[in-house]
Structure 1
Amino acid sequence: MSLKFQQGVSLIELMIAMVLGLLVSAIVIGMFSSTVGSTRQAVSAMRLNQELRTVMDMMVRDIRRSGYWAGDSVASNPHASVIQAGLPVNVFTSPKSADANSCVVLSYDYDADQSATIEHLMGYRLDDAEGAVEVLWASSSSLTSNVDCTVLNSTNWENLTDREAVDITGLVFTPLPSAASFASATVRSIQITLTGQSKSDSKLVRQLIEEVRVRNDL
């Protein structure tokens, strides 16, 4: 009767198997990390796009409705000339920014109640220090004339964008066809340029440009 002895693997074979296992594990981990990184970047890009688009849509909507009034007499429209220079909307330099044309203020009868209170004022401006777009939330009181970007006080302007997710690096309102003729233009339009970058990835930069026609010019 012959005896058969079971032989194990040699030390060299064991070491080779361990190296191959480590290589496979490294490849799998690398693919997983790459997938997680791509997913994180995609989420950041989506968040940035969503934030900029939401703010842009709000500004476009309000500027487009500048000067609207639900009253019967066009001649007595209190929103047609409440902003500085006797306009329903005008562009200024934000007191929170070094950039020119970084603020817009306007007025319209948003709730169609045929009244003229200061709560009908709207405004958007750039805040360099916060890296954010500020929006004007006005209280209810008598509507005055010659309104500009310094209207009311700092407590009436609040950050509109999420500072934890997005850094707003630029906001410019360009009167068209030119700043010099904006007040006397038959048809007024404003071009909005909004630029921002992701807080989690500074390489993610987006810029939106929209041209808005003021529909309620008189």
Structure 2
Amino acid sequence: MLNMTMTSRSSRRRGARLERGISLVELMVGLTVGLMVTAGAISLFASNVSQSRRVVANARVEQDLRNIADLITRDLRRAGYWGNAINGTLAVGAAAAAASNPYASVAPASSPTDGQIVYSFSRGAEDDAKSDAETFGFRRNADDGTVEMQTSNGTWKKLNDPNYTTITSLSLNDASPDTIPLGYRCPTNCSPGSAGCPEVKVRRYDLVLTGRSVLDSTVVRTLRTSVRLRNDEMSGKCPA
């Protein structure tokens, strides 16, 4: 009988303890741990979103720079093309002079703030005169951060979307090697360095483009490439 009474009292004490629930300290500890886990999850999510945004911004800037550079390279290589180039090497008659290439000039950007390249090439109408439709170029528009292409004299088309990429600099620097003397090919020898002695310039330019992402201003990329013109620049003539 005594054992049954003690067992009954012990059971009531255990039941009383179970009915009390968790203490305030236990509740605060649980909330703290839960908040720490939640904060860690939010921080990880925010970090992943930020990293993804940066990757997308970086890819967009690099793609825009590459597209612009490829277009400039392909078009600029045609600078100086002249269908009647033979007229620049021959002169018929004792008093005649060889004609000058009307498309020879390439005016590169002198600084990133200028950001303009102007050149020309023949489009088939071989009248030995450069027309407005044969004037081309590229320039940086400082107002909206775009690069524009001149499809004919005075007509410009944008090449990038300023809502995603801002072009901060566009420069083209002359990196041509030394001219090559051709006087030894003349019927009458012309010593290298002599005034008016014929020579050829192999034209090469260094193109530098820098762009910044509108989505993430910390993403700034610079692309450098070299452009070799297909048409070399001739100057001088053989002595009579």
Aligned with residue 27 of structure 1, among 40, 51, 63: 40
* Matched position secondary structure for 1:136: strand
* Matched position secondary structure for 2:70: helix
Aligned with residue 204 of structure 1, among 219, 233, 238: 219
Offset of 1:74 from its aligned partner? Answer: 3.6
Does residue 129 (structure 1) correspond to residue 143 (structure 2)? The answer is: yes
Amino acid at match of 1:89: V
Q: Does the CA contact (< 8 Å) of 1:45 and 1:204 recur in 2?
A: yes
Q: Does the CA contact (< 8 Å) of 1:196 and 1:207 recur in 2?
A: yes
Q: Does the CA contact (< 8 Å) of 2:176 and 2:201 recur in 1?
A: no
Q: Give the TM-score normalised by the residue count of structure 1.
A: 0.72
Identity %: 34
Higher helix share: 2
Q: Does the CA contact (< 8 Å) of 2:109 and 2:173 recur in 1?
A: no
* Matched position secondary structure for 1:201: coil
Give distance in 2, aligned partners of 1:66 and 1:74. Answer: 13
Offset of 1:188 from its aligned partner? Answer: 0.9
Q: Give the TM-score normalised by the residue count of structure 2.
A: 0.66
Offset of 1:13 from its aligned partner? Answer: 1.1
Does residue 58 (structure 1) correspond to residue 77 (structure 2)? The answer is: no
Q: Does the CA contact (< 8 Å) of 2:145 and 2:166 recur in 1?
A: yes
Offset of 1:45 from its aligned partner? Answer: 0.6
Distance 1:206 1:92, change over 3 A: closer
* Matched position secondary structure for 1:164: coil
Aligned length: 184
Aligned with residue 81 of structure 1, among 101, 114, 129: 101
Does residue 187 (structure 1) correspond to residue 202 (structure 2)? The answer is: yes
Q: Which runs of 5+ in 1 are unaligned?
A: 139-151, 179-183
Distance 1:199 1:115, change over 3 A: same
Q: Which runs of 5+ in 2 are unaligned?
A: 89-99, 178-198, 235-240
Does residue 67 (structure 1) correspond to residue 74 (structure 2)? The answer is: no
Does residue 170 (structure 1) correspond to residue 180 (structure 2)? The answer is: no
Amino acid at match of 1:20: V
Give distance in 1, aligned partners of 2:139 and 2:62. Answer: 19
Higher Cα Rg, which structure: 2
Give distance in 2, aligned partners of 1:59 and 1:131. Answer: 17
* Matched position secondary structure for 1:41: helix
Give distance in 1, aligned partners of 2:101 and 2:146. Answer: 29
Does residue 90 (structure 1) correspond to residue 90 (structure 2)? The answer is: no
**More displaced 10-residue stretch of structure 1: 1-10 or 57-66:** 1-10
Distance 1:185 1:194, change over 3 A: farther
